[in-house]
Amino acid sequence: MNKFLAACAVLVASPALATGLEVDVDGEAKGTIVIDLFEDVAPKHVEQITGLASEGAYNGVVFHRVIEGFMAQTGDVQFGKADGDTSGAGRGGSERPDLPAEFSDLNFDRGVVGMARSQNPNSANSQFFIMFDEGSFLNGEYTVVGKVTSGMDVVDQIKLGAGPNGSVIGAPDQMKVVRVTE
């Protein structure tokens, strides 16, 4: 079999990867955020995010940490559901295993989506954040998974945190519904 036919066989046998998310936000901010996911940059992270989104795990999850001029963090499917006690939001993840870092040379600019993690670079799980502004100190230290292509006006309206380390006091905004797009 020649190389061209072998490459075609691999493409046909490979599952289609999702290319993005549509996030319907509700709360002080209302609207839809469209995110292009970079499966070629962070394939394991994109697979985890799209898997959780397809299962509905992100539906109703709050933006628990929102720091003006920096970022809005969400994705705690364990402790961040709006219909429950969100006081532990930011401390959990999902039942899926943590992921090995997939660092790249992409910059954390406005609208970039990155994976949240603990001090351990291989601890990202379900939480992610959207940059309000440039954050070069994150470059090469956190995994870039995508970029907002539409809806930065919605991101800019997400309720800011007033508590310790940017934690949101009162009723936080939430990802009402998260859909995977292809």
Give residue-wise pLDDT tens across range 26-79.
999 999 999 999 999 999 999 999 999 999 999 999 999 999 999 999 999 999
What is the predicted pLDDT for the residue at 13? Answer: 35
pLDDT, greater one: 90 or 10: 90
The chain-wide mean pLDDT, for the chain, equals 91
What is the predicted pLDDT for the residue at 67? Answer: 98
Q: What is the pTM of this model?
A: 0.90
What is the predicted pLDDT for the residue at 179? Answer: 98
- What is the fold of 21-181? Cyclophilin (2.40.100)
Q: Are 130 and 144 in contact (CB under 8 A)?
A: no
> Tell me: the pLDDT tens digits for 133-156?
999 999 999 999 999 999 999 999
User: Exposed, middle or buried by CB within 10 Å (0-12, 13-18, 19+), for 104?
Assistant: middle
Check pLDDT > 70 for residue 4: no
Give the span between the Cα atoms of 23 and 179, in whole angstroms.
6
Look up tokens 């292809």; give the residue.
Answer: 182
Contacts (Cβ under 8 Å, ≥6 apart) of 12: none
